[in-house]
Structure 1
Amino acid sequence: MTSPYQVFVTALPDVCPTAPHRMVFTADADGRCEVFAWDGAAGRARQVTDSPGGTFHRAIDAAGHVWWFEEDPAGRGRWWFQHFDGGPRLPGLPGAPLGQPRGLAVTADGVTAAAFRQGRETSVLVGRRGRVPREVVRTGRACRLGGISADGALIALASSADDVDAVTVHTRDGRLVAELPGAGRPGGRLWCQGFSPRPGHTELLLVRDLGDRYAPATWAPDSGLRTHSWCTFDTEITARWCPESRTVLVRQDRHGRSLLHRVDLDARRRTVVPTPVGSLLDAAPRSGGAVDCLWTDTAHPPVLRRTPGTVDPSSPADAGPLLLPPSGPSTVVPGRHTDRWTPVGPGRVHSLLSLPQAEGDAPPPAVFLVHGGPADHDRDAYDATVHSLVASGYAVVRVNYRGSTGYGPHWRRDFTAGVGHTQVEDLTAVRADLVSAGLIAGDACALWGVSWGAYLVLLALGTRPGLWQAGVAVKPVADWVAAHRATTPALRALDVKLFGGGPDEVPERYAASSPITYAAKVSAPLLVVGAAHDDKCPPGQIRAYLDALAAAGVPHDALWLDTGHDGYDGAAHVAVLRRALGFLRDRLPDPAHRAIGRPPAPTGGLRSR
């Protein structure tokens, strides 16, 4: 891999509400993720940020100012802004204390709201661009900014979808207006999707879990909370307001791929927006009925696509400004990419299978890439690790085990065998199915995961030691008790939900699901990667696990990164990829005779817990 690291775009550009040709996006800058301003009419880009660790959070307001969040390795920092055309960089909210970003919103007339996590608390500041703000809300709950109404009068705060008050609505001076319940209702869970962008409208868009399906919901000061149960979906959805009507664009995750729907709340009508088979990493409605989306599948990196609006699709006016600078020729991932459904206790587990081009009859060695979350799923989407592995001659298996999203509420809630153990059961079942079918080599199977996926790697190696010949665990949970005590408030709340209590209340459940309990039983060579500033999967509990491996004489390697859990500098990502590929080459049968092309330069980011 001699090519430089490049970061690909994983979200659509943010568009200036008053000047749609002015956009801001994140992209590669010498191997780091940085913020760029893009003039789609002139076809001109300008790099806005240049941070040693990269920059990810960005926005553009109606006055044409680019915002970005400048943070330290622990994720703490402040918002800055600069005019779209350049000029001095200025503090967005002067005097605001250091914190971790939990959302920014700016109205058309410049009212600015920003949420920050500071220690165990979340605070919301309100002010105007470049002026000292005032704190209007402070809470001990882990929250994010859910949006600000078009007139700046109301602010939504979103906490866990399971909370009794999953969404709260406040006035601009902090007075509580509404508490919208999540847990405690049938189905319970509630997600905030933002206020209507139309002037004069204060309607808040939400998604409701009905127990076995999902539906859009709305809240308004005069009508309260309303669930649109005439329009339900069998798997997870996200939603966005359309800019010119009471219509919603719904993106549905279903069986590892994406579907797009336009929902007219007044007419009670739902229509499918045609899109190619694959995954939509992002989708946004534009004026005139057009839809922009970021499409990908396993074989192709993300590309921007636009569906036509209500006017002549051949008209230059309908095409609008060029979304992003044109990219070079698209890479195509070699090999054959298909699906596999494997029977398990409650149904069938879905896997995405990528096979190298065979040169002979022997099945290839296989790497199981284990996704994080657990409330996430592997998509039919480009993944540089998949590309590198398949090009090197390995089969790649991505399993959407029980607990994954995209397969309905019942699948997502199924932890029948216990936290982690249910997921390991599914990984084991898929491995047995693929080996039995002669698709992968039974004596050459490795596991590779990040965050929660890395946790499952460690648990599988310790509880099914004879099945796996190598493991790569990047930023794992290795000791649930120690991780729980040192992690973020949001993840502590997730732990309590998963285990049915804290470690002092149900210690036996934490012990039964902790990889450190089984460290002495690991027999496969193992590479563990930790991050020195990781607050989600803290370094202390990883070091304790490594000590347990050493005490038991288990062969292992360790790599430490000077980053937090999420990183925007490609150097750390490529270091992990190179180290892991070398580690696997030394410990699995040589797949070189199957390689059909040099592995690509890695692109994209690591998964999160």
Structure 2
Amino acid sequence: MSGGHRLFYPALPVVAEHAPHRAVYVGDAEGRCEILAWDRSAGTARQVTDRPAGTIRAAIDPTGTTIWWFDDDLGGVGTWRTCGFDRPDRSVAALPSVPPARHAGIAMATDGTTAIGLSDDGGMTLFLRSGDGRVSERAHVTGYAYLVDLDPAGQLAAIGADAATDAAVTVFTTDGGRVADIAGRADGRVWALGFAPGSGPARLLLVIEDRGGYLPATWTADDGLVRHDWCRFDTEITAGWFPDGQRLLVRQDRHARSLLHEVDLAGRTRTVVDTPTGSILDAAVWPDGDIAYVWTDSVTPPQLRSVRGLELPEHPGGQPDAGGPDAVTAPTDYRREEIRVPGPGGPIPALVAVPTDRDGPRPAVFLVHGGPFQHARDAYDPLVEVLVSTGCVVVRVNYRGSSGYGAAWRNDFSAGVGLTQLEDLAAVRAHLVAEGVVEDRRTALWGTSWGGYLTLLALGRQPELWRLGIAISPVADYVAAFEAATPAVRALDVLLFGGTPGEVPQRYARSSPITYVDQVRAPVLLAVSTGDVRCPPAPVEHYARLLAGRRVPHQVVRRRAGHEDFDAQSHLALMQTVLLFMQRHFDGVRDEGTPVALAMARPVG
């Protein structure tokens, strides 16, 4: 097994199906994410893209001769371009007659026929580009939808949508005819994952949520949907095919860590693949049969590893492509714990990092994960290291709604959207205060995206608990954010709330931070991005004006970025700004020369 090389962006390289010595991946270009072309046989790479905001979406055709990359703006609207693998400096528009739109999937058949999904406010349109470059529109789906895959023969396309609806998965012919509809429901969601490789009848792989667990299923035109009930998992999974089209590689997120399983559908066997303890962020079986994966744990940045052993190439500038800045040096005097705290919905899992240089309670920062269907995991996060070095306890709660703990936990919003999660945050906080780990009057919240939303909601709903809030790209007003959001985000909101703001206005109001802005007492730092279409900046700016009217200490940081910022220097600057804000407002004393304040003011990096 390889010792691994770090990745700048935690996703596997994409390998050409019939030329596995050629691949593309997201690498580091002066602190930005850019696409690199990797000649595995020569062990070399060359940079393909060079854009101010970086590039993260790319594909390569089965023969390894043509690279595709998505040229989008900060809001995610753009066009696909192509270039030769050997001439990455010469790119042309792949769909010259198609207007810019949002990426909604790309897939290729064996002969190079390419299916492209592009979305706008009206839905998703499926385009087909033939091997000789002809482009035609083949299907349109209203609302939120995305292209999953194209079968190897180029005859069928699988389209995914909201996994809990009747239109969870639709199979079309590439002429636009509807072949099959595979329905999901609120307690039995369905996700399509991809067609099996090979020359036989098209066989689509799916995952089904069933009775609190998850299992693989397959669909063919002749047999319809076939469930593999013998292969049930208790927590969330995703999967892909081995090159033989008979076996599956299943990646399972379980209790803040990950497992890989090799599943033989015909032989009805399941075997755990030997991988180190930690988290696997991406995994696939490459055309040569090697199992490649992106691995990390709490002290190791993400690395590319494989069962057979592989290494990333030399950086085009001659230096090893180590994948961005070095890891923050981990403090030697802290311990990591996993705890379960009694809560209103059952035991609440949390990951806790505690400095050990002295006894007694400490100030604490709760890092609130986003999603909501994500989870805090045994994975490297430099922010944990930085905050521990300041003397703070760092707490990451896998509240109800988090993945990795089964469907019942993931689907529990019984006290209301956001409000359920606040119950769990408060319960973990109370436990750590009672145990003497955390100071009662010095607890802060720090969250991004949906974690930023929970931060603002908690500051208004639980003002007596939280001394400070850091909300990066948050939702501040759920109704205003819904109106400005993309179809994908609106579909998630409808799923969470059980309707639109017009249909269930009381639910949105009860769960919206702006409803409770008059109760906020703690200082707040708000970071917004100009091109953010998931958590639009305008409602956050309005929220900040309301804070200003009440003279609540706050700061607004404005960044030129989309919802996700792929510029390392921008991240660094934001972290330093946040730490200085914490220095001013989190110590609880006028004297800014205390040890905690001085530690928080130290430059990062």
Q: So what's the TM-score if we normalise by structure 1?
A: 0.91
- Residue 270 of structure 2 corresponds to 270
| Cα displacement string for residues 544-582 of structure 1 (whole angstroms, at most 9, x for unaligned residues) | 211221222222111112222123233432232221111
- Residue 204 of structure 2 corresponds to 204
- Residue 71 of structure 2 corresponds to 70
CA contact (8 A) 1:388 1:599 kept: no
Shift of 1:363: 2.9
| Cα displacement string for residues 256-291 of structure 1 (whole angstroms, at most 9, x for unaligned residues) | 110111110001111111211110011111356531
- Superposed CA RMSD in Å reads 2.1
Distance 1:578 1:403 in 2: 31
| Cα displacement string for residues 519-541 of structure 1 (whole angstroms, at most 9, x for unaligned residues) | 11111110011122221111221
| Cα displacement string for residues 453-506 of structure 1 (whole angstroms, at most 9, x for unaligned residues) | 101000111111111111100111111111112211222222222222222222
1:258 corresponds to 2:284? no
- Residue 33 of structure 2 corresponds to 33
| Cα displacement string for residues 239-266 of structure 1 (whole angstroms, at most 9, x for unaligned residues) | 0011124100000011111011111000
- Residue 353 of structure 2 corresponds to 354
- Residue 175 of structure 2 corresponds to 173
1:581 corresponds to 2:573? no
CA contact (8 A) 1:93 1:130 kept: no
Shift of 1:402: 0.3
- Residue 330 of structure 2 corresponds to 333
Distance 1:599 1:531 in 2: 23
Say which SS state the counterpart of residue 443 (structure 1) adopts: strand
Shift of 1:347: 1.3
Distance 1:556 1:130 in 2: 57
Change beyond 3 A, Cα 1:112–1:245: closer
Distance 1:474 1:57 in 2: 24
Shift of 1:167: 0.6
| Cα displacement string for residues 272-322 of structure 1 (whole angstroms, at most 9, x for unaligned residues) | 1121111001111135653111110111101122224xxxxxxxxxx5x64
Say which SS state the counterpart of residue 266 (structure 1) adopts: coil
Change beyond 3 A, Cα 1:324–1:333: farther
CA contact (8 A) 2:105 2:116 kept: yes
Distance 2:215 2:604 in 1: 41
Higher alpha-carbon deviation: 155-164 or 326-335: 326-335
1:566-577 equivalences under 5 Å are 566-577=564-575
1:231 corresponds to 2:228? no
Change beyond 3 A, Cα 1:38–1:530: same
Shift of 1:227: 1.0
- Residue 414 of structure 1 corresponds to 412
Structure 1 unmatched runs, 5+: 1-5, 309-318, 602-609
CA contact (8 A) 2:104 2:117 kept: yes
Structure 2 unmatched runs, 5+: 1-5, 315-319, 588-593
- Residue 590 of structure 2 corresponds to none
Distance 2:360 2:177 in 1: 68
1:386-465 equivalences under 5 Å are 386-465=384-463
- Residue 90 of structure 1 corresponds to 92
- Residue 510 of structure 1 corresponds to 508
Say which SS state the counterpart of residue 427 (structure 1) adopts: helix
Higher alpha-carbon deviation: 214-223 or 19-28: 19-28
CA contact (8 A) 2:7 2:303 kept: no
1:558 aligns with one of 551, 556, 559: 556
1:221 corresponds to 2:218? no
User: Among the aligned pairs, what percent are the same residue?
Assistant: 47
Higher alpha-carbon deviation: 108-117 or 439-448: 439-448
Shift of 1:324: 4.4
Distance 1:195 1:166 in 2: 16
1:152 aligns with one of 151, 154, 163: 154
CA contact (8 A) 1:7 1:570 kept: no
| Cα displacement string for residues 365-413 of structure 1 (whole angstroms, at most 9, x for unaligned residues) | 2111101111111111111222322233322111110011111111011
AA aligned to 1:74 is: G
CA contact (8 A) 1:248 1:265 kept: yes
Distance 1:40 1:439 in 2: 50
Change beyond 3 A, Cα 1:129–1:387: farther
- Residue 342 of structure 2 corresponds to 343
AA aligned to 2:417 is: V
Change beyond 3 A, Cα 1:11–1:461: same
2:498 aligns with one of 497, 500, 514: 500
Say which SS state the counterpart of residue 566 (structure 1) adopts: coil
Higher alpha-carbon deviation: 438-447 or 399-408: 438-447
Change beyond 3 A, Cα 1:599–1:427: farther
- Residue 483 of structure 2 corresponds to 485
1:366 aligns with one of 364, 367, 373: 364
AA aligned to 2:149 is: G
Say which SS state the counterpart of residue 522 (structure 2) adopts: coil
Distance 2:313 2:255 in 1: 29
CA contact (8 A) 2:579 2:601 kept: no
Higher alpha-carbon deviation: 247-256 or 428-437: 428-437
Q: So what's the TM-score if we normalise by structure 2?
A: 0.92
Distance 1:561 1:534 in 2: 10
- Residue 531 of structure 1 corresponds to 529
1:55 corresponds to 2:55? yes
Distance 2:204 2:138 in 1: 20
